[in-house]
Amino acid sequence: MALKKFNFNVIKQDHYSRCGLIKTQRGNVNTPAFMPVGTQATVKAAFIDDIIKTGSEIILSNTYHLMLRPGIKRIKSVGGLHQFMNCSLPILTDSGGFQVMSLSKFNKVYKEEGAIFKSHIDGKKFVLSPEESIKIQKELNSDIVMVMDECPKKTNDYKIIKKSMDISSYWASRSKKAFGKNPQKALFGIIQGGLFNDLRKKSLNELMKIGFDGYAIGGLAVGENQSEMFKVLDDLKNLMPEDKPRYLMGVGTPSDILGAVKRGIDMFDCVLPTRSGRTGLAFTWNGRINIRNSKYQNDNEPLDPNCTNFNLNKYSKNYLNHLFNTNEILASMILTLHNINFYQELMKNIRANIQKGTFNKFHDLYINKL
């Protein structure tokens, strides 16, 4: 049987917000979509089967971390990342570009060579070039591959951001050449340019000339406030190709997602729901709950009776408060799953309201509440 080609179609549009369908060889992804983050071949504190039960249709994993541990050879030997982690869902792999920034004390960036860095684990030297990043992602057998980029820290220094953007554009061209032709896989370009409108537009134009299967907006969620992020999206929303998925990398809170969907974004990822779950912060339709708070010691109600698509309401706030305050592993597992479940219910409601033409009302109801 022939493998499915990667494909994306917009099904319904409500102002700038859009419902679409990404088709991959491993299954379809309804958009707007949230991708749980499985950085090291696991969504922390959750079984992949339970992640699937929340309605998650795609997850994200990371080139940099898997390259260091367990190493690509081990993953490739069993047939790729899906087999290694027993995941039937499509997988998007980040290129490692973000870690070039977040672990910058361990690396140096050169336009031709790429990122040369020492492992934060054992100090071993690595070189991550655009070609090497693509090679690793192909060996992982990921369904959506990201170009190698340089993701700069937030700065108002125009020269620094321009230099970073120019490197990212050059690396994008090299990534495309290294990727070659594979209609069953997708390669996404990454728009850089910080908070500078002219650099963002130049980056997008250069990527469109190269041609990609999707376009991501990188270099955000690095310290800017929400209004600054939305300004970048407003400046790009009329310029991005309408027939390609639009992916806002590393974002974010429920209100970030609502605002970005209003500005035409189709795909999201963020560690926030899982990281928050491990520290006792729950997302609910009535706002956020810090379950460690002593006021929940005698509260026998569930975290959120409005969450329906996964049976987590059998655990009371009283019980969860106890689990967290006694450092029980089960606490992280329950709240992680609850938060992923909430995010997927949010996405499901977003899609339903776009389909009905009522997304702006839904947005206005929850943008300041979630």
Could you give the residue numbers annotated as active site?
Answer: 94, 269
Please write down the HEC assignment for all residues of 129-163: CHHHHHHHHHHHCCCEEECCCCCCCCCCCHHHHHH
Please name which of 251, 260, 267, 211 lies closest in space to residue 232, comparing C-alpha atoms.
260
C-alpha span between 344 and 193 (Å, rounded): 30
Other CB atoms within a 10 A radius of the CB of residue 353 amount to: 20
CA distance 270 to 249: 8
Q: Distance between CA atoms of 54 and 328, rounded to whole angstroms?
A: 23
**Nearest 5°: CA angle at 73, between 70 and 77?**
110
Cα 17 from Cα 267, distance rounded (Å): 12
- Tell me how far apart the alpha carbons of residues 279 and 289 are, in angstroms, rounded to a whole number: 11
CA–CA distance, 178 with 172 (Å, rounded to integer): 10
The maximal CA–CA distance of the chain, rounded, in angstroms, is 61
Retrieve residue 71's tokens.
Answer: 């190493």
- Alpha carbons 360 and 245: distance in angstroms, whole number: 21
- Residue 271 structure tokens: 């560690």
